Amino acid sequence: MDVSPVRVVIVDDHQIVVESLAALLDLDSDFSVAGTALTADEGVEVVLRTRPDVALFDVDFPGRDSFDVIPQMMKRVPSTRIAFLTAHLSDVFVSQAIRMDVHGYLLKDEPSAEVRAAIKRLHAGEYVFSGAVRDRLAWDSVSGRYTVRADNMLCGLSVQQLSILRHLARGESVKEIARVLGRSEKSIDSHKYRIMHRLGIHDRVELCRYAIREGLTVV
């Protein structure tokens, strides 16, 4: 029986990663690289244009990152299976990914055979996690969802609040964050103070230090 190859989009801000993974998949007739991109925004454009079976995104990008763009993209391409392929292992990143209902969280130190197998499983409708990620998860049979085992206050923030906090931790001003996220400065400032109140932090410098210490931003 003739089986069509799994169409994959690769989104990563490191050209060598994109080229290497694309070359690897192109060598296997089970896969077809539908497109590549070097920024999260470009990745969304490629996914919307090509409608692949699977899209692999890194977590962190200059400007808007994956957590900023993927939620709305998923609503527009519900048939595409979305997974992170990243070097960054953080309880907060994993928790946020699960709450966004992405379909997998893979680490870049996986053998190539494991990545190829994971893509096939994604295409088959499964949720896929690297072993080190899976070790941090618990299955909730009531909700039918995975949760992160660690008790971290950051995991209690909303996806939107975590996005704003990541940008603050990068040293971006309220004005810059408002521009990047397409929100008003008043809205960003309001969220900033709600985040500080919830975490019991009283100044922005300490807030940034806390976010970096907890692995919320990549430095």
Which tokens is 23 given? 């070359």
Residues 6+ apart with CB under 8 A from 4: none
Q: In DSSP terms, which residues pair with 81 in a beta bridge? A: 54
Which tokens is 53 given? 């079976």
Task: Decide: 57 and 82 in contact? Cβ < 8 Å.
Answer: yes
| H helix intervals, 14-90 | 15-26, 40-50, 66-76
Q: pTM score, two decimals?
A: 0.85
Q: What is the pLDDT along the chain (219 residues), one digit of tens a residue?
A: 457 999 999 999 999 999 999 999 999 999 999 999 999 999 999 999 999 999 999 998 888 889 889 999 999 999 999 999 999 888 888 888 988 889 999 999 999 999 999 999 999 999 999 999 999 898 888 777 888 887 677 777 888 888 888 888 888 889 999 998 888 999 999 999 899 988 889 888 888 888 888 777 654
Q: In order of start, what are the domains of the chain with their CATH numbers?
A: 6-148 (3.40.50.2300), 153-213 (1.10.10.10)
Which tokens is 151 given? 């008790």
